[in-house]
Amino acid sequence: MSGQNTSGAPPAAGGGLLDRRALFEGALGAGLLSASGAAAETLGDPVWTQKPGANFTPYGQPSRFESKVKRVWAPPANPATPGIGASRTPHQFLDGAITPNSLHFERAHGGIPDIDPEQHRLVIHGLVKRPLVFTMEALSRYPMKSRIAFIECGGNGGSLSQPVAQNVDAQAIRGLVSCAEWTGVPLSILLDEAGVDPAAKFVFAEGADSAGMSRSIPLAKAMDDALVCLYQNGERIRPGNGYPVRLLAPGFEGNMNVKWLRRLKLVASPVMTKDETSKYTVLLDSGKTWQFIWPIEVNSFITRPSPGIGMPGPGLFEISGLAWSGAGQIKTVEVSADGGKSWAPAALQDPVLPKALTRFRIPWKWDGGPALLQSRSTDAAGNLQPSRAAMIAERGLRGQFHVNCILTWAIGANGEASNVYV
Amino acid sequence: MSMFEWLAPALLLLFAGPLHAAEGPGLGAPANEADIAAWNIEIQPDGKGLPAGRGLAAEGEKIFAEKCQRCHGEKGGGKPNDQLVGGFGTLSAPEKPAVKTVGSFWPYATTLFDYTRRAMPWDAPRSLSNPEVYALVAFLLRENGVIGADDAMDADTLPRVVMPNRDGFIPFPRKPF
């Protein structure tokens, strides 16, 4: 098929981007679509039609043809200390906004513990009138709430702050964000039961893992929308995501959503744990370091096309990706095919939920020439995702955490995508 | 603490919002401090939570060689895991890689006690006695030039150690949430 725009869809920006409405209103035109059909072939009944299939399975698995869709993780720097690190979501193979539980990213500082829920306890103490201890059975009897929320590791996107672009895919660059429906007890209910002392300003949250991973959460956040979660996408939370109970602090950086939660202590000021001082802070060129960057800032990236998900030849394609903000809902996502010279608004997939991944889509007529694909999002608070140059101008290259700059895929003449800096 | 003055307006604003009507069934069992003492281990920057006991760098050096060096290198010089000693002068030199160690980067000495006791050694956390943790802390602080060779670390002296990068942390410039 030629790269010529034979559709009725108007161009929306340079490089072949078409009006987002063309996806849903049929404006692409029958002539264009019929031109992309497969070559004629004679169809017969395959073997799976000619005999009955397999029996049911107690807990389902994906098709064997989907074996490439899996989490990956970097080998540990020290083979003697496995379980330090993170497994990443293969966003280039997924669509929609919800991350399957088996593919949700995992971050662990001391491996994934094998916790017996019968023996696990959650303690609330410190600056409270009534220190309390909860069994998991007791927690499961409280009124629950569900919400769809992203969780993003503070270290996601770190490869965008290297001096030169890394030859890696979407999973390696942005695989430390995932989105699930989380169900649990509003933390405010449990804190009210314990009776918070007015002197308390923070909740120290600690896990039962061997690292005792712990963070200080502002009390206002704990009382506002934090959940003590038991369920992830309808089933009990997976071990790698905090079984049997984790904290959800919607929109806040990943490790404040403390997994394997066993203790909440009301305190007057932050404990200054290892993971809120020496890590998850952003070193600036001045030598000073930003601390307590709690919410994840507005972000987006294109999942398709992306490295490994290229195009067989010129034609009509959908550019698709994900956007999110810890400040609330995504308001707009714009896409560029010419490295940021011109932008077209993408369609946002309903429902657009606050502090959740939002899927965006836009039709694109690739003419077979070089292209630079980018997305940039704006949240309901008006925050605009920065270019990489703007991010570096503000904070340098050594920040390591909370990297939310625009990601660029270069499209080569072979239709393959690769990460570049522009 | 200056950061709280800066945070206070945002915290108050959220706190002033409507509180929650939802009530729970009241199934939390009373917890007394003796029962939860083994879990009550965090150390605050003012030293709150520090246990009895004391340790010297010379004692810590022996423990480090036995239990820590294989991951953190001789005298905490790093590799294969985190470097714990040195790195001074790299934070404010943007042309160089930042070497963030206990000495060059960590703002509070109490964090070193907290983290070492809760999470180290990696394959046997919670196995060190309190005097052993004090000794390891003293060793790492001495190697970083933060305390003298004969300065014993205990619940009284440790919170008074001023780390070199104590004033290196500043608030995030955009609103917290």
Mean pLDDT of A268-289: 97
Residue A201 in contact with partner chain B when CB distance is under 8 A: yes
Residues B47-74 have a mean pLDDT of 98
Shared-domain flag, residues A204 and A309: no
Q: Which residue of B has its CA nearest to A264?
A: B40
Kindly state whether residue A2 falls inside one of the protein's structural domains. Answer: no
pTM of the model: 0.94
Return the residue matching tokens 């007394």: B32
Across the interface, whether the CB atoms of A190 and B105 are under 8 A apart is answered no
Interface with chain A: mutation pick from B88, B163, B172, highest number of A CBs within 10 Å: B172
Nearest residue on chain A to B101, alpha-carbon basis: A278
Q: Identify whether residues A142 and A208 lie together within a single domain.
A: yes
| Alpha helices in chain B, H assignment, sequence order | 2-15, 57-67, 69-72, 109-119, 130-143
Report chain B residues whose CB lies below 8 A from the CB of A135.
29
Q: Which residues of A touch B35 (CB under 8 A)?
A: 133
pLDDT at position B1 over 50: no
CA angle A77/A216/A278 to nearest 5° reads: 35
Write out pLDDT tens, residues A208-228: 999 999 999 999 999 999 999
- Of A301, A308, A306, A304, the closest CA to residue A322 belongs to A301
Q: What does the pLDDT read at residue A38?
A: 64
Find where tokens 């712990």 sit: A214
A180 assigned to some structural domain: yes
Distance CA A244, CA A263 (A): 13
Confirm whether A314 is domain-assigned.
yes
- Band (pLDDT 50/70/90 cuts) for residue A83 is confident
Here the tokens at position A15 are 């490089």
Report yes or no on A101 lying in a domain: no
Amino acid type, A111: G
Domain boundary among A235, A253, A281: A281
Instruction: Tell me what pLDDT residue B102 has.
Output: 98
Q: Is residue A86 part of a domain?
A: no
Asked whether the beta carbons of residue B22 and residue A283 sit closer than 8 angstroms, the reply is: no
| Residue A329: domain span | 299-420
The model's confidence at residue A24, banded by pLDDT at 50, 70 and 90, is: low
Question: How do the residues of chain A divide into helix, strand and coil, expressed in percent and rounded to 5?
Answer: 15, 30, 50
Substitution target from A206, A272, A282 for chain B, most B beta carbons within 10 A: A272
Query: Cα(A386)–Cα(A393) distance, rounded to whole angstroms?
Result: 10
> Among residues 20-59 of chain B, which lie with CB inside 8 Å of chain A?
20, 22-33, 35-36, 39-45
Contacts of B173 in chain A (CB under 8 A): 290
Are B106 and A277 inside 8 Å of each other by CB?
yes
Q: Where does the pLDDT of residue B115 fall: very low under 50, low under 70, confident under 90, or very high at 90 and above? A: very high
Contact B23 A212 (CB under 8 A): no
CB pairs below 8 Å between A and B: how many?
Answer: 209
Structural domains counted in chain A = 2
Contact A290 B171 (CB under 8 A): yes
Residue A27 has pLDDT above 80, yes or no: no
Query: Which residues of B, range 117-176, sit inside 8 Å of A by Cβ?
Result: 118-119, 122-123, 125, 165, 168-174, 176
How far away is chain B from the Cα of A47, in angstroms, using its nearest Cα?
A: 52
Check pLDDT > 90 for residue A8: no
Domain-located, residue A199 = yes
- Please say which residue of A281, A310, A333 terminates a domain: A281
Contact A81 B81 (CB under 8 A): yes
Q: Which residues pair with A347 in a beta bridge?
A: A361
Torsion angles phi and psi, residue A192, rounded to 5: -65, -40
Does the beta-carbon distance from B118 to A211 stay under 8 Å?
yes
Mean pLDDT of B12-17: 46
Q: Could you give the domains of chain B? A: 55-167 (1.10.760.10)
How many angstroms separate the Cα of A147 from the Cα of each of A151, A184, A262? 12, 9, 22
> Quick one: A217 and A265 in the same domain?
yes
- Taking CB atoms and an 8 Å limit, are A142 and B11 in contact across chains? no
Give me the pLDDT at residue B175, please. Answer: 80
Q: Are residues A250 and A379 in the same domain?
A: no
A341 and A257 housed in the same domain: no
d(CA B118, CA B42): 8
What is the mean pLDDT of the segment spanning B57-80? 97
CATH number at residue A128: 3.90.420.10
Rounded to a whole number, what is the distance in Å from the CA of A356 to chain B's nearest CA? 16
pLDDT confidence bin for A109, thresholds 50/70/90 = very high
Instruction: Tell me, yes or no, if B116 comes closer than 8 A to chain A by beta carbon.
Output: no
One domain for residues A264 and A354: no
Among the partner-chain residues B19, B28, B169, the one whose CB lies closest to the CB of A134 is: B28
Q: Which of A254, A281, A308 is the last residue of a domain?
A: A281
Are residue A319 and residue A409 in the same domain, yes or no? yes
CB A371 within 8 A of CB A15: yes
Is residue A223 assigned to a domain? yes
Query: What contacts A103, CB < 8 A, 6 or more positions away?
Result: A69, A70, A71, A89, A90, A94, A178
* Average pLDDT for A81-96: 94
Looking up residue A364, the CATH number of its domain turns out to be 2.60.40.650
How far does CA B38 lie from the centroid of its chain? 18
Cβ burial, residue A75 (10 Å; 0-12/13-18/19+):
exposed
A248 and A188 share one domain:
yes
CA distances B5 to B8, B9, B11, B17, B36, Å, are: 5, 8, 10, 20, 32
Who among B10, B28, B44 is closest to A133 (CB)? Answer: B28
Bond prior to A305 in cis (omega within 30° of 0)? yes
**Residue A41, C-beta contacts closer than 8 angstroms, at least 6 positions apart:** none
Asked whether the beta carbons of A257 and A373 are under 8 A apart, the reply is no
Q: Give yes or no: residues A240 and A331 share one domain.
A: no
Of A77, A188, A326, the CB nearest to B80: A77
Residue of B23, B44, B105 with shortest CB distance to A271: B44
Q: Among all residues of chain B, which has the CA nearest to that of A138?
A: B27
Residue with tokens 């195009």: A311
Contact between B119 and A224 using a beta-carbon 8 Å cutoff = no
- Both A165 and A252 in one domain: the answer is yes
As beta bridge partners, residue A377 has A333
Does A40 map to a domain?
no
So what's the pLDDT on residue A334? 98
Same domain for A341 and A199, yes or no, is no
Q: Per-residue pLDDT for B157 more than 70?
A: yes
Q: Are residues A266 and A147 in the same domain?
A: yes
A326-354 residue pLDDT tens = 999 999 999 999 999 999 999 999 999 99
What residue has token string 């994934």? A112
Q: How many helices (H) and strands (E) does chain B have?
A: 5, 4
Say what the pLDDT of residue B71 is: 96
> In degrees, to the nearest 5, what angle opens at C-alpha A148 toward C-alphas A146 and A151?
120
